[in-house]
Amino acid sequence: MSVTRDPTGIAALLADCLDRAAGQPGAGALWRVWADAVGPHIARRAQPVRLRGRTLVVAVSSAPWMQELQLLKPAIRTQLNARLPRPLVGDLYFVLSEGDDLRPGPQPPVRSVAPCPAAPARVDLRRLPEPLRRSFADVLAAWQRRARAGEERGWQARGGAPPSRPTRLHAPLRHW
């Protein structure tokens, strides 16, 4: 007579595989509870990489986030261990990762660049004090040169996108 067993779910099989890969029973649960333990805001910027003994190695997106997480280390460790079947994390080790965002999420919309308005043809600067008049005259001249250069390249006709090469917008500072 053969003994029939109930089918095993894929989640249970994967959990066993993760536990074996991590080298400790229950270690696979770390990845499942991470976002819940740290919250979505931190989970977008930091992800567990591996469990080395009782030290969890966490990849962090930037140095400021790494410093912030260093300060939150005791709270994160407590929250993680509270959500695991048995406490596994004795310490957290943060490493700097490539990239800004470790998890895909909604990205801010890309804003289009507004075209530069046309430079005024004539401006009366006679009422301004001499140093201020020179500064404004230099800015106005640079603005007019940029507008002429842009028209020569035809970028305004292509939807107002600025030239790909940076242009000088400011005159050098003068000490008076």
Predicted pLDDT at 78: 94
Cα(6)–Cα(9) distance, integer angstroms:
9
pLDDT value of residue 176: 41
Its sign, for the CA torsion 88, 94, 98, 100, is positive
Cα–Cα dist 159/126, whole Å: 36
What domains lie within the chain, and their CATH numbers?
11-96 (3.30.300.180), 117-176 (no CATH)
pLDDT tens, residue order, the chain (176 aa): 566 777 777 666 666 666 666 566 667 788 888 999 999 999 999 999 888 888 999 999 999 999 999 999 999 999 999 998 888 899 999 999 876 555 544 445 555 656 666 777 777 888 888 888 888 888 888 878 877 776 666 655 555 555 454 444 444 444 44
* Cα distances (Å, whole numbers) of residue 158 to 9, 23, 48, 134: 58, 59, 46, 34
End-to-end CA distance of the chain: 104
- What is the structure's pLDDT at 166? 47
